[in-house]
């Protein structure tokens, strides 16, 4: 493992040399790993990264916030409480973060509700989540491939988007994913409660390793949103509006 100071210096260098680039680094499990390597408590790790210029964290590593499920599919990423505690401490410092959910494997409907309830309660407590981003598990080239031979359906994804919009009444944004679910499904999700179409990707390795790849560019994103009947808006990581591309009837 690299020393913790390496990551602090990386953030500082990024903010100094390319201030127009916004760092959005480190999952909760990576923050916990930094704590283990450095000997610093999680709040101290987060504070050092904040002082270096980091302002937001991705929601990766949540999977399903049910320990029954996490023990079976992601035991090395810690418990549900670990993920929630890192997010809570980050929000207290001032970070904004996303919340994610990876479904479509061994979870039950009850597990999904447990996940939504956990992040809704934390949002009531801290208000630190900017958006909720669900995406479906892709079994290709994974140990679960033999027992989960099929992708979750588009219908299931739209159901997840809809129940998320209803249940997470304290989340301002629900993100649709053209990338993980396909462009047409992403378009339809905008009519099921999502208000964010995601963005473009320069490099992605997780889905690619599972033989599931979608690609797009800025122009196509704008076109897909317009085709869905909405104006397209370019935003920052913190949902500050940069530019509006109005739809022409």
Q: What is the pLDDT of residues 29-41, one digit of tens each?
A: 999 999 999 999 9
- Strands (E) in the chain, as ranges, are 56-57, 96-103, 129-136, 173-174, 232-235, 241-245
- pLDDT value at position 210? 45
**pLDDT tops 50 at residue 122:** yes
Q: What is the pLDDT of residues 75-87, one digit of tens each?
A: 888 899 999 999 9
- pLDDT value at position 2? 83
**pLDDT tops 90 at residue 242:** yes
pLDDT, average across residues 144-168: 89
φ/ψ of residue 191, rounded to 5: -100, 0
Position 248 confidence tier, pLDDT thresholds 50, 70, 90 = confident
**pLDDT tops 80 at residue 216:** no
Q: Is the four-CA dihedral 27, 32, 38, 44 of positive or negative sign?
A: positive
3-state secondary structure of 196: strand
Range with lowest mean pLDDT among 42-46, 55-59, 198-202, 245-249: 198-202
Do 170 and 120 meet the contact criterion of CB atoms below 8 Å apart?
yes
DSSP bridge partners of 135: 102
Q: What is the pLDDT of residues 91-115, one digit of tens each?
A: 999 999 999 999 999 999 999 999 9
Instruction: Output the CA–CA distances (angstroms, integers) from residue 173 to 14, 168, 183, 190, in the order listed.
Output: 28, 9, 19, 11
Query: Is residue 124 within a helix (H) or strand (E), and if so which, with residue range?
Result: helix 109-126
- pLDDT value at position 14? 94
- pLDDT value at position 200? 62
φ/ψ of residue 26, rounded to 5: 75, 110
Position 204 confidence tier, pLDDT thresholds 50, 70, 90 = very low
Position 201 confidence tier, pLDDT thresholds 50, 70, 90 = low
Do 158 and 189 meet the contact criterion of CB atoms below 8 Å apart?
yes
pLDDT, average across residues 60-87: 92
**pLDDT tops 90 at residue 147:** no
Do 53 and 10 meet the contact criterion of CB atoms below 8 Å apart?
no
- pLDDT value at position 234? 93
Integer Cα distance of 172 and 86 in angstroms: 21
**pLDDT tops 50 at residue 207:** no
């Amino acid at each position: 493992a690299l020393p913790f100071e390496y990551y602090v210096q990386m953030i500082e260098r990024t903010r100094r040399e390319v201030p127009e680039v916004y760092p959005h680094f480190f999952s909760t499990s990576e923050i916990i790993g930094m704590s283990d390597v450095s000997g610093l408590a999680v709040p101290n790790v987060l504070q050092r990264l904040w002082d270096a210029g980091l302002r937001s964290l991705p929601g990766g590593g949540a999977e399903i916030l049910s320990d029954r499920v996490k023990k079976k599919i992601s035991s090395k990423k810690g418990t549900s409480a670990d993920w929630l505690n890192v997010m809570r401490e980050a929000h207290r410092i001032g970070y904004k973060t996303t919340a994610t959910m990876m479904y479509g494997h061994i979870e039950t409907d009850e597990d999904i509700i447990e996940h939504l309830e956990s992040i809704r309660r934390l949002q009531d407590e801290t208000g630190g989540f900017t958006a909720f981003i669900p995406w479906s598990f892709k079994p290709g080239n994974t140990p679960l491939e033999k027992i989960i031979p099929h992708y979750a359906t588009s219908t299931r994804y739209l159901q997840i988007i809809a129940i998320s919009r209803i249940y997470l009444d304290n989340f301002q944004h629900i993100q649709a994913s053209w990338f993980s679910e396909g462009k047409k499904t992403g378009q339809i999700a905008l009519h099921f409660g999502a208000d964010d179409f995601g963005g473009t990707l320069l490099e992605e390795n997780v889905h690619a390793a599972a033989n599931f790849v979608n690609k797009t560019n800025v122009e196509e994103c704008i076109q897909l949103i317009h085709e869905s009947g909405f104006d397209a808006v370019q935003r920052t990581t913190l949902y500050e509006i940069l530019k509006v591309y109005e739809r022409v009837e």
